[in-house]
Amino acid sequence: MPNVIVFIHGLGNKPPKNLLENWWKRALIEGLTQEEQKSFLPKTEMVFWIDLLYDKLLDPSETNPESPYYIDEPYVKAQPETVWERDYKRLSVIDYLGSQLNRIFLNDELSLNYSIITDSIVSKYFRELDTYYKDDCLPDDNAICTIKIQIRERLIKVLEKYKNHDIMLVSHSMGTIIAYDVLSYLAPDIKIHTFVTMGSPLGLPVVLAKIAAEQRRRNITPVQIITPENITHVWYNFSDILDKVAFKYRLNDVFLPNAKGISPIDFLVANTYKVNGEPNPHKSFGYLRTPQMSSVTRAFIKAERLTFMQKIARWLAIGYRILKSRIQKHQKPAESSK
């Protein structure tokens, strides 16, 4: 059975889909190369949804750093001369604060205390998530839930396309929430071989309360925070302790195992993304090239089961892409000299 890697991005405006997908693939390949593993990626596809919320995407041709469409955090390779350290003494403090957050903001039935405070924080700092949650109704309601439905349908469409493949679903930031919702409620019959969450806010009280609220609206009883049943092999959750979006990083403490006994496996990683001297421990590219993510990707690639003809087709496609790339490189100097 062929393998496919499906990407779904997170918060914030983005460059065009093709460029973003290319950068995600380059980050994955960079990680594999650092691990001295020369592996070709299987087929990949980016679930791109941010165009539903922004009238204009980030522009690769924009050179003015003051422009709202300037890409200030492009894909760049890791800086090998930099030694990345994390103060893991903070872990006990973070763990304590994380547990207190749930105790303070969540009731026993997983409804939210102090919703005015949490709603104002989400509204101020997380525009996309605020829009997603304000579209708070079910598809069969009379209300028009345009944004939430359209975002979810983007992922459903791609998963349906590859339902006969072994799927590795790689999600980042708000994308982890969209992925969890779709797997839990809207595409329960589509099997996910490997689920990856990176820089995920799924453990935050406001998100847990929203998950529980949707279960109540769908008359799901008892209300439980559980691993989606269609995850068939493993769920890996990657967090950097400096990533503020993934502050409550221990998802295994929150999400119960599904019927197969699968629940999140939490890994603390060092997100090494840095551009123009500014680090961003939440950036997707940094997560994608970590050694831990490389190990997961490599294991998924090796698990692929292809027939002989599928292998031939795969290598012919790879050879064609390499040849096309080399031809384009040779053509560029000639074109620029005209």
pLDDT tens, residue by residue, 60-110 = 999 999 999 999 999 999 887 655 666 666 666 566 566 656 665 566 666
Condensed to tens digits (0 to 9), the pLDDT of residues 240-250 reads 988 988 888 89
Would you list the domain boundaries of the chain?
3-60+83-305, 308-338
Quick one: pLDDT band at residue 131, thresholds 50, 70, 90? confident
Quick one: pLDDT band at residue 38, thresholds 50, 70, 90? low
Number of other residues whose CB lies within 10 A of the CB of residue 125: 12
- pLDDT computed for residue 319 by the predictor: 57
Condensed to tens digits (0 to 9), the pLDDT of residues 197-217 reads 999 999 988 888 889 888 988
For residues 263-283, b (16+ Cβ closer than 10 Å) or e, as one string? bbebbbbbbbbbbeeebbbbb
Average pLDDT, the chain: 82
Decide which of 33 and 10 is more confident: 10
- How far apart, in whole angstroms, are the C-alpha atoms of residue 240 and residue 281? 6
Instruction: Write down the CATH number for the domain with range 3-60+83-305.
Output: 3.40.50
Average pLDDT of the residues in 256-278:
94
Range in 37-41, 83-87, 133-137 the model is least confident about: 83-87
| Virtual torsion, Cα 208, 172, 176, 149, nearest 10 deg | 120
Number of other residues whose CB lies within 10 A of the CB of residue 106: 17
Give the three-state DSSP class for 327.
Answer: helix
